[in-house]
Amino acid sequence: QQQVKQSPQSLIVQKGGISIINCAYENTAFDYFPWYQQFPGKGPALLIAIRPDVSEKKEGRFTISFNKSAKQFSLHIMDSQPGDSATYFCAASRGSSNTGKLIFGQGTTLQVKP
Amino acid sequence: NAGVTQTPKFQVLKTGQSMTLQCAQDMNHNSMYWYRQDPGMGLRLIYYSASEGTTDKGEVPNGYNVSRLNKREFSLRLESAAPSQTSVYFCASSEYGPGYEQYFGPGTRLTVT
């Protein structure tokens, strides 16, 4: 079953615009929510992550917003650049468990037009 | 540091053939993972190893076996390949469990004809 649902599947944004990718999860036991970035032909790499004790985390142009009651979290990319063109995956896990599993969303392909 | 390395990078198999995908990490991480990536499906966990000597099934373990040879190495074996196993396979490692950053290898693109 798909426990983490991600939308949209693809996104086209103009340079300088804001890119927004949304994820929804089902399991209320999840307590670790990372976002991974993947460039073509490469493995994914951690971009930013949040735990549910905060509602927002910002690192440079990248921000995670977290809504625990709605079981939703989103990635905002401010001032989007062509170099941000990649596939983005949200994920969720019971991070406090050593034997839990990281469940990924379906992925969003972002294209930033110059 | 090489990070996470995978071999081979590409492989073509005929239905019924077997092969082993190799993965090694040099970060002294305790946990290692095997994922497959298919279009529109994201990354799905096949097997993981929380520590040396332990392995456990993920979401899609059927048709695969794994071996945690030592702390550095975690291999994935396809005993009798099927076209449904055509995919890109990624190995990853993390210092501890899934609440820690996972470092991914470059992937193996496998085609089964």
**Tens digits of residue pLDDT in B54-78:** 999 999 999 999 999 899 999 999 9
Contact yes or no for A43 and B99 at CB 8 A:
no
A94 or A87: which leads in pLDDT: A87
Structure tokens, A18: 């804001």
Looking only at the bridges linking them, the beta strands covering B87-94 and B103-104 are: antiparallel
Instruction: Indicate the pLDDT class of residue B39, thresholds 50, 70 and 90.
Output: confident
B41 or B24: which leads in pLDDT: B24
Q: Which residue has the tokens 């540091």?
A: B1
Q: Please report the pLDDT score of residue B66 as a whole number.
A: 97
**Tens digits of residue pLDDT in A45-77:** 999 999 988 999 999 999 999 999 999 999 999
Instruction: Indicate the pLDDT class of residue A100, thresholds 50, 70 and 90.
Output: low
Is it the case that residue B18 has pLDDT exceeding 70? Answer: yes
Nearest neighbour of A100 by CB, restricted to B41, B92, B97:
B97
Whether the CB-CB separation of A91 and A27 falls below 8 Å is answered with: no
Contact yes or no for B99 and A95 at CB 8 A:
yes
- Cα angle for residues A38, A43, A45 (degrees, 5° grid): 60
What is d(CA A76, CA A86) in angstroms, rounded to the nearest whole number?
14
**Tens digits of residue pLDDT in A6-41:** 999 999 999 999 999 999 999 998 989 999 999 999
Q: Which residue has the tokens 């599947």?
A: A9
- Give first-to-last CA distance, chain B, whole Å: 36
Residues B80-90 as b or e (16 or more Cβ within 10 Å = b)? ebeeebbbbbb
Q: Please report the pLDDT score of residue B96 as a whole number.
A: 84
Query: Which one-letter DSSP state was computed for residue A6?
Result: E
Contact yes or no for A95 and B92 at CB 8 A:
no
- The neighbouring-strand residues paired with B76 are B21, B66
